Homo-oligomer: A and B are copies of this chain.
């Protein structure tokens, strides 16, 4: 029997990186639409809010680490969220370079509304899988993530 590890021909549709990319883009686009339609938030803005919903009073740099966003993307998302009043910034007393960020009341309100939408979208996606398959998927993605970024042992 042929071992897939011996492949010498490339079929794009069977090529894992390609399949991952198409799947991820399809999923992300669908979800981004939900956030945008309901609250006018981009996926980057939402990620920042999501992290602030889990962790109060953290810095932009920490947000970048939690969200896998680069610092420019964080800076822009933070600027727009400050502007729209979803988050607030407070200078750090110990270190003048840092600024502590947190959700405002408005931001918390939006956050509480989006969480169920996001979880619903996730549930909808995994509804195609049994509980066992879902668990498998978690494990497989964990392994792939390690293989793809061996350095980043944070997660």
A147: interface (CB < 8 Å): yes
Copies of this chain, count? 2
Instruction: Specify the chain B residue showing the minimal Cβ separation from A30.
Output: B148
Could you tell me the dominant secondary structure of chain A's interface residues?
helix
A144: interface (CB < 8 Å): yes
Task: Tell whether, in the assembled complex, residue B145 and residue A129 are in contact, meaning their CB atoms are under 8 Å apart.
Answer: no
A37: interface (CB < 8 Å): no
Task: Tell whether, in the assembled complex, residue B147 and residue A8 are in contact, meaning their CB atoms are under 8 Å apart.
Answer: no
Taking residues whose C-beta sits less than 8 angstroms from the other chain, chain A's interface range is: 35 or more
* A1-13 interface bits toward B, Cβ cutoff 8 Å, 1 = contact, 0 = none: 0011101111111
| 19 further contact pairs, Cβ within 8 A, besides A7-B119, A136-B140 | A5-B131, A8-B116, A9-B115, A10-B54, A16-B125, A17-B121, A20-B20, A20-B23, A20-B141, A21-B27, A23-B144, A23-B148, A25-B68, A26-B148, A30-B148, A125-B144, A126-B147, A128-B147, A137-B144
